[in-house]
Amino acid sequence: MSLKQYIITRIILAVPMLFVILTIIFFILRIMPGDPVAAILGGKASIEVINKLRHELGLDKPLWLQYLDYLKNLFKGDFGKSTLTGRPVLSEVMDKFPATVELTLFAFVIAVTIGIFWGAEAARKKDKAVDVSARVFAILLYAIPVFWLGLMMQLIFGSYLRWFPVGGRISAFVDLKPITGLYLIDSLIQGNWEAFIDVLKHLILPGLTLGLVISSIFLRMVRNNAVLMYGQDFVKAARARGIREKDIKYKHALKNALVPIMTMMGLQFALLLGGAVLTETTFSWPGMGSFLVLRIRYRDFPAIQGTVVFFAFIIIVVSIIVDIVNALIDPRIRY
């Protein structure tokens, strides 16, 4: 199978997957305890008001009709209106999403860099200082709760040293016109260096906190997989051909080690795009995580449903991308 055919197949297969997920989301939200009408009206409204609202929300229709409406609306790109703010859910989500993307990308760059470079070097020098320290680092950071690490970061770099702000995305006095919603990129496009520095300063603590915690997982996986690869015959055979250690490390050991790791990284990435709830809350980061937590507290059902559908969509897109990247790395997958 050619790569093109493989990609097309993956995309086609994603359609039924998306459909199944949408169905599951619909029914889970209907089974969940709590009545949206009661949540909106506060439980003290008269029966007429309740019935009126039920009708407006379409909740008086049979379940299967509600289900069809739900699919039809989603297909049109209509995720419903928030019961808390009255705004369309999709536009609310799209307001929060760039903040999460920015944090996720920043954290991911840190995590992948640490994971890959340190992990590969640790594998090459197994049981030496660089490896032992990698293992200690990984276990330690894996065991530390992310919010505690965040608090410590705030305490040390925010309160004592006063190097970085402890929360938010941008200082109130800084003027920045959002274009993409990714403030780093927006400030670069506009050549607004003051904003760029300010945004970067805000990003460093939450990004580092999240990045370090994720890097612990990557580091362990890369190191363990690469150790396995270093023991393989093809590495020994490459050495016997005089291939340089650097090429052996990256082209032979690491590249082979990455195949199973890519899937894990992709899933991790997708999960983070859903919002790193603890990190976002610790740093008052206005992203998807804090958005979802807030809306759950207010029983904003359309917002919850819309956000979950949005996550599902992202997870599917990311998993398709991961599959394609994997097929690019390992040709055995696409045959």
Binding site for other proteins (CB under 8 A): 232-234, 236-244, 247, 251-252, 255-256, 259, 329-332, 335
Q: Which is nearer to other proteins, 20 or 237 (CB)?
A: 237
The minimum distance between CB 3 and other proteins, in angstroms, equals 13
Q: Which is nearer to other proteins, 93 or 254 (CB)?
A: 254
The minimum distance between CB 252 and other proteins, in angstroms, equals 5
The minimum distance between CB 237 and other proteins, in angstroms, equals 4
Sign of CA dihedral 90, 91, 94, 96: negative
The minimum distance between CB 97 and other proteins, in angstroms, equals 35
The minimum distance between CB 215 and other proteins, in angstroms, equals 25
Distance CA 234, CA 222 (A): 18
The minimum distance between CB 140 and other proteins, in angstroms, equals 27
Q: Which is nearer to other proteins, 68 or 328 (CB)?
A: 328
Q: Which is nearer to other proteins, 119 or 165 (CB)?
A: 119
Distance CA 290, CA 252 (A): 42
Which one-letter DSSP state was computed for residue 332?
Answer: G
Q: Which is nearer to other proteins, 197 or 264 (CB)?
A: 264
Q: What are phi and psi of 88, to 5 degrees?
A: -60, 135
Distance CA 27, CA 9 (A): 28
Q: Which is nearer to other proteins, 35 or 330 (CB)?
A: 330
The minimum distance between CB 241 and other proteins, in angstroms, equals 4
The minimum distance between CB 234 and other proteins, in angstroms, equals 5
Residue 94 Cα to chain centre, angstroms: 15
Q: Which is nearer to other proteins, 87 or 239 (CB)?
A: 239
Q: Which two tokens stand for residue 40?
A: 């909106």
3-state SS assignment for residue 222? helix
Distance CA 216, CA 322 (A): 21
103 CB contacts (<8 Å, ≥6 apart)?
203, 206, 207, 210, 272, 276, 279, 280, 285, 287
**Is the Cβ–Cβ distance between 289 and 275 less than 8 Å?**
yes
Q: Which two tokens stand for residue 277?
A: 């709830």
First-to-final CA distance of the chain: 5
Distance CA 66, CA 71 (A): 9
**CA distances in angstroms from 114 to 122, 131, 197, 302, 316, listed in the order given:** 11, 13, 23, 39, 27
Which one-letter DSSP state was computed for residue 87?
Answer: S
The minimum distance between CB 114 and other proteins, in angstroms, equals 24
Q: Which is nearer to other proteins, 175 or 245 (CB)?
A: 245
Q: Which is nearer to other proteins, 144 or 243 (CB)?
A: 243
Distance CA 132, CA 240 (A): 28
